[in-house]
Amino acid sequence: MEWLALHYRFMIIDAHCDVLTAMEEQGRSLADVGRGGHVDLRRLRRGGVGLMFMAAFISPAHRERATVRALELLARAYEELEKNREELMPVRCAADMVRARVSGKTGVLLAVEGGEALAGRLEVLRMFYRLGVRCLTLTWNGRNELGDGVGEEGTRGGLTRFGREVVREMNRLGMVVDVSHLSEAGFWDVLEESAQPVVASHSNSRRICPHRRNLTDEQIRALAAAGGVVGLCFCPDFIHPTEPSLERLLDHLDHIVSLAGIGCVGIGSDFDGIDGVVPGLEDVSRLPNLTRALWERGYREKEIAAILGGNFWRVLHQVLPRQDLAL
Ligand SMILES: [Zn+2]
């Protein structure tokens, strides 16, 4: 069981989950056990997760009140952080990552999924930063003030002028730019604009599974060349059109590694944001199965460490502020 010991030795980073929305829909909190969903405190512990991105997802239903929606979900995140201080801690800077690692707590990195939450204003972005938000998924599938999402394909719409300003301001503040859900034209605009590595927090390879939410080979190569990381997403539809499985997910990994090396891939499960799951990855507690599958496929210790969290650690360490100096 060499792989099991390995699993719990590594800093595991999951770059995307929707537990904030799921808790609201399912009327549960993180400390509840056996209340459904994919993520709670007990399952995070079993999964060995050291750092979790928690997204305030702005669904289209909340488009007209996106800023308030983001605040509602962030308030829920802070309630959970407060109630569970023994097990969780917010991660706002590189020093916090080390603190989370040393303390054995699960770090929580707050994210907003959907730049409509900014209401078209950099001031709102700056205030989200002060509220601890360190990652912004620029768009969801539709169009917002920053640019077009993947659902707008055919328009060739990329980033707007405001979208470019947001990328530059996020670079300045120390926030991670997330290109998952963004249109292809938008993706290339971000790479042109960003002085820092960017992430695709939850996307797979379009060559392996032709889904619009997955990335082309050219996108993966360019993102990797800029120091970025793709988070492997466990959504069955992004894995295989007819026979999604853990093994087919690893086909995405193999392909991405063959294109751009071991340094550009991580995990972005999308737990609590996906309807279906694949056998072996039913919830976050099952992450050791991923390590076993990696081991059995011939990935070695250093490579597994990079995939499970080392690569996202590198990007976060580079992008986040060294210390949290917010007033
Ligand atoms: Zn998403």
Give the orientation angle of helix 122-130 with respect to helix 161-173, to 10 degrees: 30
Calculate how far, in angstroms, residue 62's C-alpha sits from the geometric centre of ligand 1.
15
Residue 139 Cα to ligand 1 middle (Å): 9
Q: Ligand 1 centroid to 289 CA: how many Å?
A: 23
Query: Bigger pLDDT: 9 or 230?
Result: 230
b/e 137-154 (16+ beta carbons within 10 angstroms → b) = bbbbbebbbbbbbbbbee
Distance from residue 5's CA to the centre of ligand 1 (Å): 31
pLDDT band for position 2 (cuts 50, 70, 90): confident
The pLDDT tens digits of the residues spanning 139-175 come to 999 999 999 999 997 788 999 999 999 999 999 999 9
**Mean pLDDT calculated for residue range 120-130:** 98
DSSP 216: P
| 309 Cα: distance to centroid of ligand 1 (angstroms) | 19
**Could you state, in order of their start, the residue ranges of all structural domains in the chain?**
2-319
**Cα 22 to middle of ligand 1, angstroms:** 13
Cα dihedral 69, 75, 76, 77, rounded to 10, equals 110
> What dihedral do alpha carbons 194, 192, 314, 106 form, nearest 10°?
60
C-alpha of residue 201 to centroid of ligand 1, in Å: 8
Q: 2-319 — its CATH code?
A: 3.20.20.140
Q: Tell me how crowded residue 83 is: count the other CB atoms within 10 A of its CB.
A: 14
- Whether pLDDT at 326 is above 70: no
- pLDDT higher than threshold 90 for residue 294: yes
β-strand pairing of 106-113 with 49-57: parallel
**Ligand 1: centre distance to CA 214 (Å):** 11
* 215-270: pLDDT as tens digits: 999 999 999 999 999 999 999 999 999 999 999 999 999 999 999 999 999 999 99
Distance 102 CA to ligand 1 centre (A): 30
Asked if residues 91 and 49 have their Cβ atoms less than 8 Å apart, the reply is no
CB neighbourhood size of 40 (10 A): 25
**Ligand 1 center to 148 CA (angstroms):** 14
Whether pLDDT at 132 is above 90: yes
268 CA → ligand 1 middle, Å: 10
* pLDDT at residue number 327: 62
Residue type for 48, please?
Answer: G
Give the span between the Cα atoms of 273 and 265, in whole angstroms. 20
* Type of residue numbered 16: H
Strands (E), 146-281: 176-178, 199-200, 229-232, 265-267
Ligand 1 mean position, distance from CA 196 (Å): 22
Are the beta carbons of 44 and 52 closer than 8 angstroms? yes
178 CA → ligand 1 middle, Å:
10
